[in-house]
């Protein structure tokens, strides 16, 4: 089964190209936002995904459009690469401690998008990244991939540590959920 996808998105605000391989491979990410590149690289590493992403956005405004549109194309690529989702485990969850922070992700590749995000950030900015953009990214991925996604930071003081814990736990949970276990669609309904 081909578990790969390519998605391009061009708007008046952004121009993105993403290649995704669920079986792994090289990771090459360039969004123009250093901290976001770091988070996406960590996510890809822990999810064991191959990702080539080029994003050019209106960073003279801020990073919002670039981050949200990256979530959109990643979500669309995940949906395409998972196809009918036959044979996947479907569910995944992971805790990640990052120094003083403890973060958790649980997800279901259900085809039904929903986001619950409970992760207060104590600093507004992390380098050139607005910490409020993490929820925007997760929402865009969830809505476009058809993921039920729950994320929580149980505690933590440093927005860098909290955000990194969320991205890493998302990667670990996704790796578990998309793991191939057989051939059938993982639903008692017979369809996702």
Is residue 186 one of the residues assigned to a domain?
A: no
What is the tens place of the pLDDT at every residue in 1-35?
Answer: 689 999 999 999 999 999 999 999 999 999 999 99
Pairing relationship of beta strands 91-98 and 101-108 according to DSSP bridges: antiparallel
Residue 146 belongs to a domain with what CATH number?
Answer: 3.30.230.40
**For the chain, what is the domain count?**
1
Enumerate residue ranges in the chain where pLDDT < 50.
none
Count other Cβ atoms within 10 Å, centred on residue 123. 12
Is residue 183 one of the residues assigned to a domain?
A: no
Residue 37 pLDDT: 98
User: Which residue range is the domain that position 55 belongs to?
Assistant: 4-177
Residue 1 pLDDT: 65
Is residue 182 one of the residues assigned to a domain?
A: no
Is residue 191 one of the residues assigned to a domain?
A: no
What is the tens place of the pLDDT at every residue in 71-88?
Answer: 999 999 999 999 989 899
Is residue 81 one of the residues assigned to a domain?
A: yes
């Amino acid at each position: 089964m081909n578990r790969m996808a390519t998605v391009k998105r061009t708007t008046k605000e952004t121009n993105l190209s993403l290649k995704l391989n669920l079986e792994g491979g090289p990771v090459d990410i360039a969004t123009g936002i250093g901290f976001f590149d770091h988070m996406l690289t960590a996510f890809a590493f822990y999810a064991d995904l191959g990702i080539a992403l080029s994003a050019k956005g209106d960073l003279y405004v801020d990073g919002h459009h670039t981050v949200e549109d990256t979530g959109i194309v990643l979500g669309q690529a995940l949906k395409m690469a998972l196809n009918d989702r036959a044979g996947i485990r479907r569910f995944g969850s992971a805790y990640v401690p990052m120094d003083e922070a403890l973060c958790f992700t649980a997800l279901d590749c259900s085809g039904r998008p929903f986001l619950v995000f409970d992760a207060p950030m104590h600093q507004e900015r992390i380098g050139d990244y607005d910490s409020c953009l993490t929820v925007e990214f997760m929402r865009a991925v969830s809505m476009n991939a058809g993921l039920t996604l729950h994320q929580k930071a149980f505690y933590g003081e440093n927005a860098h540590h909290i955000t990194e814990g969320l991205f890493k736990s998302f990667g670990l949970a996704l790796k578990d959920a998309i793991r191939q276990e057989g051939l059938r669609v993982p639903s008692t309904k017979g369809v996702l």
